[in-house]
Amino acid sequence: MNRTWIVIPMYNEASVVGGVIEGLLPSFPNVVCVDDGSSDGSQEIARAAGAVVVQHPINLGQGAALQTGIEYALQDPDLGCIVTFDADGQHRVEDAREMAGRVLSGEADIVLGSRFLDDRTKLSPAKRVVLRTAALQSRMATGLPLTDAHNGLRAFNPYVARNINLTQNRMAHASEFVNKIAKLAPRWVEHPVEIIYTDYSRSKGQSLLNSVNIVAELVLGRN
């Protein structure tokens, strides 16, 4: 995994990000956290835990943070794989390791995490409906038959990284990502992952109402 960079968008995650980074480093020695205008000292904690920290002076949104992290990782001439990983502890290192392995082996250009390929992830009925609706809309719009269109755990090679160029700074970037993958048409697979929902990640994460709004915006063609 020495040829892999973990990209973590980060905004006011001081209470958890250190543990997330420390959990990653034994498997992934290259971790870049893109601090998106945090005011709680997340930057210092991430650096102390062993990550490279790139800072946005103001909050630009998760899409912008991911794009900055991707561009940083692309500067590595030996880059083999990029993995996007959440700062709030929802993602599992084991899943990231398996997904990166599939990219590095040459099996696929991009491996997309899905919480719907097995039954490990526990979702409320309402959130399950919203995520299923988003996946259905994405399939109708792009022709890409994903089971989970809004999963932030992804692994991809430099070819994909160079051709992403996210412009949706806020949460709609997840749908933009899928749209760009559909147009690029790389070799892709989905990989079963478990998303760990805690009280903290629920309080930090995208609300159900925001999820519904994103689906509505996509259906109406605003993005």
Q: Confirm whether pTM is higher than 0.85.
A: yes
Mean pLDDT over 9-26 rounds to: 97
| 143-192 per-position pLDDT tens digit | 889 999 888 999 999 999 999 999 886 667 888 899 999 999 999 999 99
57 confidence band (pLDDT: 50, 70, 90) = very high
**Which two three-digit tokens encode residue 188?**
């892709």
Q: Find tokens 């992830």 and name the residue.
A: 121
- The sheet that has 81-84: what strands, in order across it? 52-56, 31-36, 4-10, 81-84, 154-156, 110-114, 188-192
Residue 55, SS3 per DSSP: strand
Whether the predicted pLDDT of 220 surpasses 90 = no
DSSP 156-196: E-HHHHHTT-----STTHHHHHHHHHHHH---EEEEE----
Distances, alpha carbon 193 to alpha carbons 110, 168, 208, in Å? 15, 25, 21
Q: Where does the pLDDT of residue 1 fall: very low under 50, low under 70, confident under 90, or very high at 90 and above?
A: confident
